[in-house]
């Protein structure tokens, strides 16, 4: 693993750095919050270990700025500030774990390894698009070629599912399960009816059809059949 240690206490920093190096880890050290922020944004690290009380920029501010910059590196706060309120603030600022000084190095290393094994966080998509069609999941809006399209809640969920699987065939069963939460066939034409309504709103009046019926299989949202 490649680890960034942001710690202003020279004795603690050397103790942690030396212990990690002996275990075969790669460790970079920043002596203050400002330096740590620059290093964390300029290079890739598997884990960040950050003190709360740092010169120039405190640990909470460093992590908040990193999260705002979409740096999702797993982070452990290593600090003498050990009250419940301190722990809560650390986690609320985007921290993944919190260890209070004085600490046992074995526990520190175990926590670092645990964070290092976590799969990287995927960026949450809030806007889905295909060709001239755009769906904003936060604003709950759908626009095609600059024209706003008014959808009912079920139509919105249906289009969202189709967009998330754009270019792939989705079956009637898949739509029943993921849009209507039906884990059985209700023996109705509910899917066909909503596809027809969505197609009328989404494709009618536009040069290119996006919703295609794949005979014997299901439906596909794509710029071509």
What's the pTM? Answer: 0.53
Are 60 and 89 in contact by the 8 Å Cβ rule? The answer is: yes
Which DSSP category does 124 fall into?
P
- Total domains in the chain come to 2
Other beta carbons within 10 Å of 76:
22
Do 152 and 71 have their domain in common?
Answer: no
For residue 121, tell me if it sits in a domain.
no
Report d(CA 6, CA 27) in Å as an integer.
10
**Mean pLDDT across the chain:** 90
Which helix (H) or strand (E) is 16 found in, with range? helix 10-22
CATH number, residue 163: 1.10.10.10
- Mean pLDDT, rounded, for 195-223: 94
For residue 179, tell me if it sits in a domain.
yes
Q: Is the pLDDT of residue 122 over 60?
A: no
């Amino acid at each position: 693993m490649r680890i960034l240690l942001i710690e202003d206490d020279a004795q603690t920093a050397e103790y942690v750095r030396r212990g990690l190096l002996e275990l075969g880890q790669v460790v970079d050290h920043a002596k203050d919050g400002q330096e740590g922020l620059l290093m964390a944004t300029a290079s890739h690290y598997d884990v960040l270990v950050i003190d709360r009380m740092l010169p120039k920029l405190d640990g909470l501010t460093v992590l908040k700025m990193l999260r705002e910059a979409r740096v999702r590196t797993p982070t452990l706060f290593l600090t003498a500030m050990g009250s419940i309120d301190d722990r809560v603030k650390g986690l609320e600022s985007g921290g993944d774990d919190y260890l209070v000084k004085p600490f046992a190095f074995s526990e520190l290393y175990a926590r670092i390894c645990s964070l290092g094994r976590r799969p990287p966080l995927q960026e949450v998509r809030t806007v889905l698009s295909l060709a001239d069609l755009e769906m904003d999941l936060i604003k709950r809006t759908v626009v095609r070629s600059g024209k706003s399209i008014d959808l009912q809640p079920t139509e919105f969920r249906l289009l969202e599912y189709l967009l998330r699987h754009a270019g792939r065939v989705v079956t009637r069963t898949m739509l029943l399960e993921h849009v209507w939460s039906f884990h059985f066939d209700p023996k109705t034409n509910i899917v066909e009816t909503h596809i027809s309504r969505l197609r009328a709103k989404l494709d009618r009046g536009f040069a290119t059809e996006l919703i295609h019926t794949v005979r014997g299989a299901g439906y596909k949202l794509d710029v071509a059949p």
